[in-house]
Structures are given as structure tokens and as C-alpha cells.
Amino acid sequence: MSKVNDRHQKALAILRRGGVVRQNNDLFVVAGNSGSDWKVTVWDDKHIQCSCPVNKVKRQECHHIMAVKSYLVSARTGWRMW
């Protein structure tokens, strides 16, 4: 399984257990699989940042960001993908 596909599966698992909580318009708290909570800030669809090491240090899109993106699509369209 590729790293991207693995991240998608982790994002879906977070969504299924209700691990994405919207704090305000642009701030989300995402429950990570390790038990840590991560903050995801959304400026617009192309500018999203997570406080986790995968995003901050490696500068890769983490599964927390993927979960928030899916959450936002669901909120906009009414269609749940998980």
C-alpha cells in the first residue's frame, strides 16, 4: 500500500470515529491515531496547515489535513464519504 493510500485510510478512520471537531471557521482539532490532538488551520482550499510533524517538518500532506478536507467537502455538499 502506498503512503498516500495509507494516509487516506487513516483519514477515513478519523472521520468514522468523529475525530474532526470544528473549533471555529478556520480551526479544527483532529484526534490522531496515537492519542494526540492536532490543530489544523484552513485559510482556503489550497492553504491548510497541521501542527503534526509530518506536515510541519516533512512538509507533506498528512492524514489530519486529508480528514479536514473530506469534512469540509461533506459540509459543503451534504455528501458523506466515510
Single pTM value for the model: 0.90
CB 31 within 8 Å of CB 14 = yes
Distance from the first to the final alpha carbon of the chain: 19
How do the pLDDT tens digits run along the chain, 82 residues long? 577 789 999 999 999 999 999 999 999 999 987 889 999 999 998 899 999 999 988 889 999 999 999 999 999 999 887 7
How would you classify the pairing of strands 37-44 and 27-31? antiparallel
Domain range list for the chain:
3-77
